[in-house]
Structure 1
């Protein structure tokens, strides 16, 4: 269970949610980790609680200078960089109808969710190219794979992450830098609540959406942050040494196809009737 022993990682958005779970998982598997987050209070608290193998660097991933400084800080603190997990992301406000979307959050969502991934990949790869290669992991979403209504800006940004990841994987392979991405789906984190916060009944809307997800998800359990963290460990370690340009949905099977729970219930009821 020490497959990351001796490696140095950066996790952006590492102070909470999927990021923090991944930081903890990386540490547990032997890595030293820099937590990068815009929330200094939460990041410093997390690093202090996790011990000397964790450090915090306040970073806005949409700021090229801050991302460059993050890579320098990591090298100075832990003497290297083997894993870059570009995980930081924000939702767009959820709208029922695209025609009613004023797109006021377009620039910030694109800056964080897409530009932030591109900057993180570029600056990390510049270091890795001169130090024997490494692994870059980007967080997309199943919303970037599957078309659908709502969250148009977020979906567009996450689709961009997928295509960028594949392009970067081809471009950076010559340097021994692998680039892959994880597509979470229906993971219990606060991001859905943030997306519905502008609604008068945001909490009710969030719960209603989670109930809808249950009806279409083949695996009948909710995904959690540790599910994504385990996928990140796979891409970070040598077990994926021959894997690059890959998109891994971690979504309970939603991308594979929607389950009709109602139909399954009907079939089960009839089967039980026949056997009675």
Structure 2
């Protein structure tokens, strides 16, 4: 399809890199006017310039409630409407040796960006949408919020909170024709993984990332690796009229990881292909 978002106005937080940038570019290509909200001024301005007419950058720290309220006003002043709100901005936590060694020093910041930012973006956007015929809100979680596991515990907790908040908001806002859905990416190459390795030497961080990627690959039923563009396609679907009867949904974009362990093709003693669990 083309021009699925023609005439629509969208805000994408964390829109300067990775998944956020892919969503901005996809939305803009489908005819939306887009506000790119981020703390990275240089990259945000670069994305806006690359998109051209109909895309503008706004510096926003999503953990700051005043800035988030101003973001909605900015979009309305610039484009006169707000139809789709994508609460994508998020940060990882610092990786610790174990839960016993986690000093929780990053708890407040991770929760403020990943949870408060989503809650504020949802609420402030919904206030406008409720008075103007409804709209679509897309929140970004992670398969780390669905599946339990070790490491980056605060991050996992924050993404689980996004899922529960999304479902609750969807129930309450349905009466206003506002759909609230959630995407849970997994195994998508972004800069988020590198941030978990903060404090490591470049060589150690690279080895760490390689090990994590290999573990993800082994847990993924689909052989191919996902891309930010795959997530952007899901955001487009949830932001468009194609999903007009969908709300409160959590959509993993993860190559089947949360569905279960992969079945790999292997050969038996006679060289015949057989299936087996990884």
**TM-score, length basis structure 1:** 0.95
**In structure 2, do the counterparts of structure 1 residues 45 and 199 end up closer, same or farther at CA, with 3 Å as the change threshold?**
same
Equivalents in 2 of 1:268, 1:31: separation in Å? 57
Asked whether the 8 Å contact 1:234–1:240 carries over to 2, the reply is yes
Match for residue 137 of structure 1? 138
Deviates more, 1:239-248 or 1:38-47: 38-47
User: Within 5 Å, which residues of 2 pair with 1:25-64?
Assistant: 25-64=26-65
User: Within 5 Å, which residues of 2 pair with 1:86-165?
Assistant: 86-165=87-166
Match for residue 216 of structure 2? 213
User: Within 5 Å, which residues of 2 pair with 1:221-260?
Assistant: 221-259=224-262
SS at 1:235 equivalent? helix
Q: Measure how far apart 1:267 and its partner are.
A: 5.1
SS at 1:10 equivalent? strand
Alpha-carbon deviations, 1:86-134, whole Å to 9, x = none?
0000000112311011110100000000110000000000010011100
Alpha-carbon deviations, 1:127-155, whole Å to 9, x = none?
10011100000000000001111110000
Match for residue 271 of structure 1? 272
**TM-score, length basis structure 2:** 0.95
Unaligned residue ranges in structure 1 (runs of 5+)? none
**Is the aligned partner of 1:65 residue 2:92?**
no
Moved over 3 A (4+): 266-270
Match for residue 204 of structure 1? 207
Asked whether the 8 Å contact 1:10–1:84 carries over to 2, the reply is yes
Q: Measure how far apart 1:48 and its partner are.
A: 1.8
Equivalents in 2 of 1:51, 1:7: separation in Å? 16
Q: How many residues align?
A: 271
Alpha-carbon deviations, 1:155-196, whole Å to 9, x = none?
000000000000000011111111000000000111111111
Asked whether the 8 Å contact 2:142–2:183 carries over to 1, the reply is yes
Q: Measure how far apart 1:272 and its partner are.
A: 4.8
Asked whether the 8 Å contact 1:216–1:260 carries over to 2, the reply is no
**In structure 2, do the counterparts of structure 1 residues 165 and 267 end up closer, same or farther at CA, with 3 Å as the change threshold?**
farther
SS at 2:22 equivalent? helix
Q: Measure how far apart 1:45 and its partner are.
A: 1.9
Equivalents in 2 of 1:6, 1:239: separation in Å? 16
Q: Measure how far apart 1:270 and its partner are.
A: 4.0
Deviates more, 1:194-203 or 1:247-256: 194-203
Asked whether the 8 Å contact 2:126–2:178 carries over to 1, the reply is yes
Match for residue 76 of structure 2? 75
Unaligned residue ranges in structure 2 (runs of 5+)? none
Q: Measure how far apart 1:214 and its partner are.
A: 1.1
Q: Measure how far apart 1:198 and its partner are.
A: 2.3
